[in-house]
Structure 1
Amino acid sequence: MPQRLNAKNKVQTRSAAPRIRLTPEERVPKILDAALKEFSQHGFTGARMEDIAHGAGLSKGGLYAHFSSKEAIFKALLDRTLHQIDWQAMPQLATGASTQDMVEWIVDKLHEVVLSPPSVALVRLLISERERVPKRVNAWREELLRLRGQELIKIIGQNLRCKADNVLVRHSWLLLSPMVHALLWRVVFDDPSGPDPDCRQAHVELLCALLDARE
C-alpha cells in the first residue's frame, strides 16, 4: 500500500510541475527533437503522439496544437534538415570574397548540417521506414539530391558565371556527392570519422577543380 501511495505521489508531483511557456519558434524544435528520439527508438509506426508530447514537455492536446499527426511531424523533420542553411549568407565575389572562400563556406555548411548527429539519426530512420512511408522518403531524396543541388548550382553559377557545359551545371548531384558518401559511411558503419579524416578538404578541392577556379 505505501508503494502505491509513493507512486501516486510521484505522478502528482510530475503533473504538478509548471510547464514553460515557449513561442512556437522555440517549441517546434523541441517537438521535433523529441519526435526524432521516439521515431528512432520505436519506429514510425511504434512511436506515439503522447510520448512525443511528453518528451517535448507538452500535453497531448498541446502537441496537436502544433502538429495534426505523426505524418506532419515526420514531414517537418525532413524539411528541417533541408532548410537549415541560409544560402543568401554565402560570401559573394562582389563583396571581395574569393572562389575558394565561397566553396569552403558551402562545404562547411553542408557538412555541419547534413553530417550532424540528428541528420545521421534521421537518415537511419528513413532507411528503416522507407517501405512504410515511401512517398515521403522519395520526396526527401528528390529534393535533397536534385532540387537543392540545382539551387546551389544556380547560386554558384550566378556568382562565378559558370559555363553551361560545366560538369557541375550539367550534373548538380556531383556537388553533394562527397557529402552523401560521408553521410552513408556514418550511417552504415557508425563511424563518425567518415571514409577520410580530410573529407571536408577533399570536398573543397574537388569543387574547386570542377569549377576550374583553383587559386
Structure 2
Amino acid sequence: MKIGLYLTYLKEAKEWLTKAVVYSESLERVEAEAKELTIGLECGGSDAWSGVTANPAIGVCSDKIVEVGGTSILGETTEAIGAEHLLAKNAVNREVGKQFLTIVKDYEERIKAVGEDIRSANPAPGNIVGGLTTLEEKSLGCIKKGGSSPLNEVVQYADKPKEKGFVFMDTPGYDVESVAGFAAGGAQIVLFSTGKGSPTGSPIVPVIKVGN
C-alpha cells in the first residue's frame, strides 16, 4: 500500500472515531429487560475439559437467556463438523435443520476445493496436547455451548437474526472473525470458553472468558 493512501485511510479513521466518541458520550444509559439481550457463544484453545465444564456452563446460560425471550448465537461452522446431525435434529423444524446442514456441507466443499480437508486437520495440534482425540469429540464439546434449546434460525455471517431464541451464524472457525460477526449481528456480549487459554477479545463487545 502506498504511504499516501495509508495516510488518507488513517485520517478518515481518526475522523470517524472522533465523531463516534462524541456520539457515544451523548447516549444515556437505560435499563432493559433480559429479553433484549443477544449473546454470542464462542470457544478457542479447546482441551479435553472444554466439553465437560466450560462449554456446558455456557450452554446453561444460553438456555436461560432463550427462556426469558432473549437470543443466543452460536457460530464457527467448521467446529460443528462431525456433530452437525445433532444440531440439525434439534432444529425447530425440518427447513431450519436443512439450512444448517447445507451451510456445513457448503463450507466443507469450499475447503476441499482448495485441497484441504477439515476432518483430517482436526483436532488441531494444540487441541491434541490438551487431550482431545477426535474431530467428533471436539465438535460435540463445541455445540454444548448452544445448550438444549431448539435451533430456531440459521443466518449468514454478520447478519442480524430475525428470530429470537437459539440461532446459528455461518462464521469461520477463526475466533477473531467469528466474534466480529457476532458483534455485527447485534450481540452485546460474547461468552468465550477456553481450555488452553486464548487472548481473543474485541474492541466492540465485551468478551467474557470462561475457563475450564
Q: TM-score, with normalisation over the residues of structure 2?
A: 0.25
Return the structure number with greater relative CO, CA threshold 8 A, min gap 6.
2
Which structure would you say has the larger Rg?
Answer: 1
The structure that is helix-richer by fraction is 1
Q: TM-score, with normalisation over the residues of structure 1?
A: 0.25
